[in-house]
Structures are given as C-alpha cells and as structure tokens.
Structure 1
Amino acid sequence: MSQHVVVIGAVALGPKAACRFKRLEPGSRVTMLDMSDVISYGGCGIPYYVSGEVSDETQLMTTSFHMVRDVPFFKDVKGVDVMTRTKAVKIDRDAKKVYWENLDTGETGELDYDQLVVATGATPRSLNLPGEDLEGVHYVSNPHDATDIKDAIAKGKVGSAVVIGAGFIGLEMAEAFTDMWGVDTTVVEIFDQIMPRLVSPDLARMAQNHMEEQGVVFHLGETVKAIEGEGRVQRVITDKRTIEAECVIVSVGVIPNDQLARESGLECHERGGIMVDETMRTNDPAIFSGGDCVVVRNLLTNQPMFLPLGSMANRQGRIIGDNLAGGSSKFDGVLGSFVVKTFETSLAGTGMSLDTAKASGFDAASVLLVQLDRAHFYPTKDLMTLELVYERGTRKVLGIQGFGSSGDAMVGRVNAVAAAMKYGLTIDELSTMELAYSPPFSAAMDVLNSVANMADNDERGINRGVGPQGFVELWDERETGDYCFLDCRETPDAKPFMEKFPDHWCNIPQGEIYKRFEEVPEDKAIVLVCNTGARAYEAQIMLEHKGVKDVQVIRGGMAALKKWGADL
C-alpha cells in the first residue's frame, strides 16, 4: 500500500532517507520541508570552499555526476517533493499532521503523514557576548556563510581574522585563511589544547606546532569576553588580551535542534538531542529521527552520545529509508571516528583519548609510537605518530589517535582499528591483525602491529616511559633532579647535544651498552633517548638485565620531540 512520508529537514539525513525510501517504494509519496533556500549540501566542505580548494559554491550541492541537488532535481530525478523556506511549526502526533509556515510569504498549511522523519539538524552554539551581531562575525553552518566570508576576503576587507574554537571547523578555517589568502589568523580556545577531549595533549601539541610553523597564532586557555567594532568587527577581547580582527569565526560547537520534537512529546535527552533506538525510531513508532538532532549509543560506554557528523547522518538516513519501507535495519552505535586536515598534516582518531577513557571510569593506559608508514627503504616513506589507548587487565582497545601526513596512510590505519573495535578488539588481536603489505604502502611489520606490540610490552611492564610532555617535565628538572639523559644513538647524532649540555647529556650507543656499562651512573635515574624510541627500549632491556631499575624511555624519541616543538 502506498503511503505519504514527510521529512522535516533537507540537508544530509533527510534527503538520504527520502531517496532510499523512494527506491524501495517508488509508488509512495515523499515531501521534504526545509527552512533554507539551499538544500542537500556538503556542509563539511565549507572550509575548503573558503580556501579555494573547492572553486565553486555549487560544487557543495552537486552529485558526483555534476547535477545540482535543488528542488527540480529532487522532483524530476528522485520523485521527492521539496518545500524550501518552509518551517515545520507543529507536529500533531494523534492526527498525524505537520503544520507548516512559509517564511517568505507567511502562508500556512498542513501535511498529513503516514510516517514522519525529523531531521532538524543542529544550530551553531552562540557565545551570547556583546558584538556577536557585528558585520564580519560568522558561524560556518551553510553555503551562504561561506560565500559571505569568501566575498569579504576577495574584496580586501579581511587582513586579520580570529577563530574562536580549536575543533574541526576552527582548525580548518584557520588553515583556509592562512594558506590560501595570507590572512593573519589567530585561534582562541578556552581549553589548554586544540581538539580538546579528542586527542592527547602530546598529539594536540604536535598539530599546533605544525600550524604555528605555517603562521597561525594560538592562544589557549583563554576566554573570549567581547567582540567589538563600529558596525563591522574590529577586535576580539579575551580575559588576557585584545586581538585585532576584521573577520571572526565562531566555532564552539553545535546544539541539536530538538525543540519541535520536545513540543510534540518525543523523548529527548536532558542535555539535548532526540532519543532514538537502534532502528532510528523515536518513542513514537511512526516517527524516525537522525543526524545532528539525535543522540545515539556510544559503543564503548553504552551511554548516549551526541556526534554531529555528516557521514553519520548519511548512514543513518539509509537505515531510516529501509525501515520506512518496512525493513529492520539497525544503527547499533558509534565510536566517534574523525580526521581533520592541518596544512600538510592531519589528526585522526577513533574511540577515546586517554583522558576521556579515564573520565569514563576505565583503568586506561596509552602508548605513543613514532614509526615509518611504509618500508624504511622506500623513498617516499614518512613518519607516523600513533597513540593507542587500551584498558588494563582486559587489554581491550579503547581508542587510537594519530598525527601524520595529510595523505591516506594514517586515516586508513585509524579506519581499520575503528572497524575492528566495534567487535571488542584487543591489543593481542591488533598485534596480529592482517594488513595488506607492499613496500610502497606499508612495512612488513605494520605500524598498527607495532603500536599494539608496544601496548603489550607496556602492560607487561617491560617498556616503561613517557611521551614528549613527560620528557619536557624531566628536562626542566635537570638542574635539581638526579637524571642522566642517555642518548643511545650513534655518537655523531648525540654529539651536538653532549656539547651543548655536557652536564646532563651523555652517550652510549645501544649496541655498546654491555661493553661500556661501567659508564652508566649508579646514582642517577636514567632517561633513554633515541630517534623514535625503538633503540631506547632495547637499551632499557639491557640496562635492567644488568640490574639498573630506575630507567625510563622517551616514547617517540627525538622525532616526537621535534614534532612537539620541544626546545633543545
């Protein structure tokens, strides 16, 4: 029997659900409503349109075969009716009606539905500060925002910019301003690191250091107090300084648009977001919801999680389309996988960072590994940094995050772990995970296998050490602490540091530890350093075999310290 499905929202999830349903039930009717005049666009591509990497705004709204996804496209190609600039003002669940209002004409009406999809998305979070309404202050949420920003830059109105928030959009916009347009760009973040809660302080510092090398200025641990200007923005006031700015991007997260759902009696989370089950149904069996307006299950904690990502919305949309047509497809939960490009590098991850895992009640630990992403003899090799988070005792993998080149190598590794974590991946299973091998693409012992082996050694207590931040803390104590920084590289590599720090830096190549053991100080803690941490680990085993107990390895070695920006 044919039915009428109404979809409220036409950006990501709404169109995917509508089109999937129409393929399964071409004889049924679908009507989509959206408050905007632009629909079905790739919002995550907005920073790349601003940067110029995407040359035309309409590319964000086209199919892979270059058709613009506008109202006629949905009508003629997909068989879906679309009402733009139309707001759903009320849902009458008993009568199965949606009441609407046209935002341009004021016209009102109603739509009967057999089944309903609520895809109302999310709204950028406001700072609620003086000056947020000034010209030149933007929230990057739709193609109109992108066009306004790009037009202002092209007309020479923007020589300096402040980005408030160092999450995905904030970092991408900072890169867009700096790389393409040469705009003096400052990022202000209330937390003391970029990408807070998503990556460790060490990985965050590595990405920040790289962006600073490209000209981006960061002020972390600062709170914005006001935005000032006369008609147009001129400056941003924080609790520590005044920053000149001719453009401001506010990127401090989003809030799920659940008001319509709440008013109609649909169950919502106390912190915001519509509650759905595995089939993406609400507490009303005739109403589905998904995308940026819902909360879903975290596969690690089994708790509700708000994860506003376009990729998530598209996958959920297909499931809703199936189930509208009588299917039983399920969306069982999320891990929180991500990747963000930072000039020639990227940060990626899935699952929990160490701090997030501990805050969630896990007895968690992490290891940091720096290793080549392909065979050491292959000319285009590059160093990749991975941090693996696992649960002590159970050895269950809780997350992996990485910093490396902006190619596919690192995100491919993260995706492999994400796929396996859903099924309870352990470090033992990751250690032996089968991965495609060829020297141009990977090493015979892949970096994923190696980081799992390192976690195994950590769990066994035979690889004890700290990352770059831990090294800096030890180094800062060198005048008062009883430390010997033992460089176990070959002498030519260590010599510059021995000459610069003769009282603190010494050298015994790892292969000479046993022969020169008498040179190892007996009254000092030994801090082992090499290029990546591999030889330092071997040296640790040798020293402990000789009875030295107070030994630490600098995980990631000099490579990690360089990426981190340690001043030696």
Structure 2
Amino acid sequence: MSMRVVIVGGVAAGPKAACRIKRLMPEAKVTMVDRDSLISYGGCGIPYYVGGDVADLEGLLSTSFHMVRDANFFTKVKGLEVLTRTEVTRVDPQAKEVWACNLDTGEEMSLPYDKLVLATGSIPFIPPVPGKDLNNVVPVANLHHAKTIKEMVSQGQVGTAVIVGAGATGLEMAEAMADLWGIEVHIVEAAPQFLPGLADPQMARMLEIRMAEQEDIHLHLGASLEEVLDDGQGNACGVIAGGEKIESDVVIMGCGVRPNTSLAAEASLDLNQRGAILVDDHMCTSDPDIYAGGDCVSIKSMITGEGIFMPAGSLANREGRVIGTNIAGGDARFPGASGSFCIKLFGLSLARTGLNELQAKEAGFAARAVIVAQADRAHFHPDQKMMFLKLVVNETDRRILGLTAVGENGDAVVGRVNAVAGLLAAKATLEDLSNLELAYSPPLGAAVDVLNSAANAAENLLEGRLEPLAPEEFIKRLRDPQGSNTVFIDTRAFANAEPFLEAFGDDWVNIPQETLRERWQEVPKDKNVVLVCNSGVRSYESQLILKAKGYTNTVNLGGGMATMNRWAGSVLPSGDKE
C-alpha cells in the first residue's frame, strides 16, 4: 500500500512539502487541505498589489512561467489531491486520522494518514479594543483582505486611512496607499519605534525620518490603540490612539501575527510559551508521524540556540522541502535561522540579520556596537550612495552577533546583510569579517568594502582605540553644550563646518584633521570633546592624534554627520542638510 500523507495548509510550507514528496515518492497519495479557495500565493506581495506594482491577484498566485497555482494546477501538474474550502476540525493522532468539513456543502469527511504535515500558518493579531469588529476594519492576512482594500481605495472610498502597527506589513501598506493613491495615512504604533522587535531602534529611526518627510504620512509612535470609533451605522470612522482622536475611512490592522496552532494544541503536540509548535531539526513534532513547518512553528536561533518565532515565506519554503525529503525517507535537516529581514520604503532600504544591540545584551552577551557610514560602491563612481551599518559583536570572543544596514541602493544593502547572515551561522569573528573576500569593481563595490570597514571599526572599539558617541547622546549634548560641558571639534574643511560655526558659535570649533598635528593645543582638556567629520573616519584619526598627546576626554561621532543627517533629518536649527 502506498504511503498516505495529509497536509493541512496550502500557502507556502504545505505546497512545498507536498510537491517534494511527490517528486521523491511518485506513488504516495498526498492530500492537501485548506479552508480557503485561494492557495499557494505570495502573501508578502499584498502591499505591492494594493500599491499597483502587481497588476492583479493572479500575479500573486502564478508561477514564474505564468501558471496559476490553484487546485487544478496541483492536481494535474503535481499529482496531488487538493481539497479547498475544506476546514480540518480535528486531528486524532491515536487513530492517525484527520477530520474535516467542506465549508460549502457541510459534508464531513475522515482522512486517514501515515504521515501528517501541519502547515497551518499564522493568524492576524487584532487588539481587543471596542469597535474591532466594525465594518471597514480590515486585517492584512490573505488575498481576500487585499482585494477588499484594493477595491475600496480604487473606487475612491478612502481619503484617510489608519494603519495600526508599524511592522513590515503595516509600513508597506502605508507606502502603497500614500504613494500611489494619495491617501492620507496615519500610522499608529504602541512601541516608540518602527519595526519593533525586527529592527535596531537607532537604525529604524532612519526609516521613520524618511516616512515623516512624506506629505501624506503621519506618525503616531508610542500610541496604543484604545478604541475604533463607530459612525452609528456599524462602520469604522476613526480611532482613539494615545488619547488622540484620528478620523479615517478605513482601519487596517497590521499588528503582526500569532501562530495558528489550535489543531496542534488539541492533538496534544508540544508547544512553546508563545503557542508555536516545537519541532526538531527534521521538522518533526513531538509525535513522530506528524511534521510541522511555516508560520506555526518555533525554530532555532543560529545565534543563541534558543527557539524563535519568525514567520517568513522564505523560511516556510525551505522548511517544507526538508519535511518532504524526510517523509520520503531522507535525512534532511533545518538548522535554524539567523533572523534575516529586509524592507524598502520610499526608496530607502533597511536589512538586518542576527541580533540587534539590545537583543544581544538581553541574551547575555557582552555586546558592543559600532555605526559606520561609507559609500556602497567606489566613492568616485557616480552610482555610489552612502550606506549605514550597525555591527554588533561579542566583546569576550569577538564573535559577530548581528548587522543592520540602511541605504538608498537596496541591492547593495541586502547583499551585505546576506553575506553576514552566512557568517553568523558559522559563528564567525571580527577577523573573519575584516578579511572577508568580496568581489570588487567600482560600479559594484569598493576596494575596502563597507563590511570590512565595519569590522575594522569594531576591532578598534574593542581594543580601546575608538571611543564612539551614539546619535542620541550627540543630540543631547548639542542641545545643551553648557550643561554637558561639551565642545564640538569639526575636523572637516571650513566649507563643511561653516553652517555649524554660524549656528552653534563658540561651542563648535573647526580644526581640519590635516592641521590637527599643528593645532592640537587648541583642543581643551577641561571639557568633553566631541570629534566630528562627515563619516567618522577623519574624526577617528583625530582621536588617535589627541590620544597620543595625552587627551582622554574625546569621543568620536559614530558614522559622522552623514549618519546624523539620516538619523535626525538635520541637526542644524534651520533644518538644512549638508
């Protein structure tokens, strides 16, 4: 008798596992069940469908050769039995049986299995506030939600929108609605930053500044949703958030997701504290005949070794392949994830991998971090753009713990982060990154790549040569130089320093780095000295010169004024940027 495999869930991990099994075991009977009518779609593309980059829903449902991945496709092309609009109501591990109900006919059915795959994905988190069930309150969890939102905006029903949540989906939806449709968008986020839990707060602020510069975008950070307002006819007409009333025609819930694991819990499978299914590196659950993958599982962090919940289509597909191989008798393993992520908003890209500085400290590492700013290509090439990196390392063993990158050239940003993601899995050290070989050509990279430079800066930090100053502290001292007993030494040419000399008077002094060996005595020893340049390189060299002269009162602005202009918009009272 051929093996019977039942797969619950038909979006990412489920279809991948199903097709892998049929390739390796053509004789197996594989049944894939999903409660939706639409399966195997690119959910991460929803904001781009709403924003018009993807013309129609078929684009999110199609293969690279333009075949729609519907039930008929999987049956005829892949040899699967597919039951859509069919909800699994119970799993009986003792009888090795799945019970399901056809949502259109009410017909109940029993599906016996030899191996079962749970790819039940995640469910959107809806804050438990009054009015959450009103009309025009829409999550962003599937293509039906996407179609609803697109129809509302394309038919001119939305002039103002509230998006609850500044995670990836919420921010991408904000860009889609403001950029294409000219809708006034209010982003409401309980945390004090963009991308909470996903991005380093200092680096996320660069995205916040870019979004705040957009005419139709309004930010409400640190504002918890308290209520969705009723227009008296059962429709949402706004929200109360952070004590403020915000009127809107639609409220989009982008508050993140939770693992959809009710079936697993009822089947007594082991779950973690967040309710995600625990699996081993074969993607097998606590029941040896039940596998699980995708947004419903907990996977291992390659940095800490602890379990993490990281919903992502890329991971789900890799996990699905491992499941399929193992069900077919193989020995594939899923080692875990470094935690890589990327996003692009209004032309500015952010990517990260591993732990940010706060996460690393909370995990017990002796974490130190540096911020560097450097061109992503040869500095003389016309296509070069400034890239900003924050590298996190462990002081005791010099192990790399994480990287966040921000820049205009998104391919360059993601390329650097992807390179480090591979190093994290190998527990690479600063020396590995400092000597990392990267292909070089002026239109594509620099002779000394920004990654090598970040590693070198971190090495200088750990060995006591570099004393950095964080952006927040720089702004604090700049606003009150007398109270902080601070003087700012600008090591750039006079033309760069002139606007700051005019703005900050005696608190800002221009000593170009090339003249410091002759003028070092002009630097006071009885004040806190902040050394400044465009990128942090000349000011670092100035710090070394002063250290050699016996100065112990200097700090170097990490990433220089280029970083501050990206982080703060501008530090000049006039609001001008250099």
* TM-score, normalized by the shorter chain, greater than 0.5: yes
Identity across aligned pairs (percent)?
Answer: 48
**Residue matched to 1:529:** 532
Residues 60 and 406 (structure 1), Cα distance of their counterparts in 2 relative to 1, 3 Å cut: farther
CA shift, 1:406, in A, is: 4.8
**Residue matched to 1:220:** 221
Letter in 2 for 1:43: G
Unmatched 5+ stretches in structure 1: none
**Residue matched to 1:58:** 58
Secondary structure at the aligned position of 1:91 is classed as strand
1:134-158 Cα offsets, whole Å, 9 max, x none, are: 2221111111111110110011111
Letter in 2 for 1:352: L
1:454 aligns with 2:448: no
1:74-111 Cα offsets, whole Å, 9 max, x none, are: 01000011101111111111221111111121110101
Letter in 2 for 1:250: M
Please identify, of 495-504 and 552-561, the stretch whose mean Cα deviation from structure 2 is larger. Answer: 495-504
**Residue matched to 2:441:** 438
Give the Cα–Cα distance (whole angstroms) in 2 for the partners of residues 273 and 113 of structure 1. Answer: 23
Letter in 1 for 2:294: G
Give the Cα–Cα distance (whole angstroms) in 2 for the partners of residues 263 and 126 of structure 1. Answer: 23
CA shift, 1:199, in A, is: 2.4
Letter in 1 for 2:13: L
Secondary structure at the aligned position of 2:314 is classed as helix
Query: How many residue pairs align between the two structures?
Result: 568
1:371 aligns with 2:374: yes
CA shift, 1:313, in A, is: 0.3
**TM-score, scaled relative to structure 1:** 0.99
**Residue matched to 1:251:** 254
**Residue matched to 1:186:** 186
Unmatched 5+ stretches in structure 2: 573-578
Letter in 2 for 1:533: G
Aligned with residue 293 of structure 1, among 284, 293, 296: 296
**Residue matched to 2:129:** 129
Give the Cα–Cα distance (whole angstroms) in 1 for the partners of residues 94 and 462 of structure 2. Answer: 57
Q: Is the 8 A contact 1:2 1:25 kept in 2?
A: no
Letter in 2 for 1:428: E
1:417 aligns with 2:420: yes
**Residue matched to 1:143:** 143
Q: Is the 8 A contact 2:222 2:242 kept in 1?
A: no
User: 1:117-516, aligned counterparts within 5 Å?
Assistant: 117-215=117-215, 216-230=217-231, 231-516=234-519
Secondary structure at the aligned position of 1:291 is classed as coil
Give the Cα–Cα distance (whole angstroms) in 1 for the partners of residues 519 and 529 of structure 2. Answer: 15
Letter in 2 for 1:227: V
Q: Is the 8 A contact 2:114 2:289 kept in 1?
A: yes
Q: Is the 8 A contact 2:525 2:553 kept in 1?
A: no
Secondary structure at the aligned position of 1:2 is classed as coil
CA shift, 1:200, in A, is: 2.4
**TM-score, scaled relative to structure 2:** 0.97
1:395-425 Cα offsets, whole Å, 9 max, x none, are: 0011000111252101010000001110101
Q: Is the 8 A contact 1:341 1:406 kept in 2?
A: no
1:307-337 Cα offsets, whole Å, 9 max, x none, are: 1111110000000010010000000111110
Please identify, of 116-125 and 493-502, the stretch whose mean Cα deviation from structure 2 is larger. Answer: 493-502
Letter in 2 for 1:549: T
Aligned with residue 567 of structure 1, among 557, 565, 571: 571
Letter in 2 for 1:255: R
Letter in 1 for 2:174: A
Letter in 1 for 2:473: G
Give the Cα–Cα distance (whole angstroms) in 1 for the partners of residues 20 and 130 of structure 2. Answer: 45
Q: Is the 8 A contact 2:200 2:357 kept in 1?
A: yes
Give the Cα–Cα distance (whole angstroms) in 2 for the partners of residues 257 and 94 of structure 1. Answer: 22
Give the Cα–Cα distance (whole angstroms) in 2 for the partners of residues 30 and 197 of structure 1. Answer: 38
**Residue matched to 2:106:** 106
Give the Cα–Cα distance (whole angstroms) in 2 for the partners of residues 137 and 536 of structure 1. Answer: 52
Give the Cα–Cα distance (whole angstroms) in 2 for the partners of residues 468 and 328 of structure 1. Answer: 49
1:78 aligns with 2:78: yes
* RMSD of aligned alpha carbons: 1.0
**Residue matched to 2:576:** none
CA shift, 1:437, in A, is: 0.7
Q: Is the 8 A contact 2:175 2:345 kept in 1?
A: yes
1:525-564 Cα offsets, whole Å, 9 max, x none, are: 1101110111000110011111111000001111111111
1:13-46 Cα offsets, whole Å, 9 max, x none, are: 0000000110001111110100111000000000
CA shift, 1:361, in A, is: 1.2
Give the Cα–Cα distance (whole angstroms) in 2 for the partners of residues 270 and 209 of structure 1. Answer: 35
Letter in 2 for 1:228: L
Letter in 2 for 1:553: N
CA shift, 1:252, in A, is: 1.3
Letter in 2 for 1:451: A
Aligned with residue 544 of structure 2, among 526, 541, 558: 541
Give the Cα–Cα distance (whole angstroms) in 2 for the partners of residues 518 and 293 of structure 1. Answer: 63
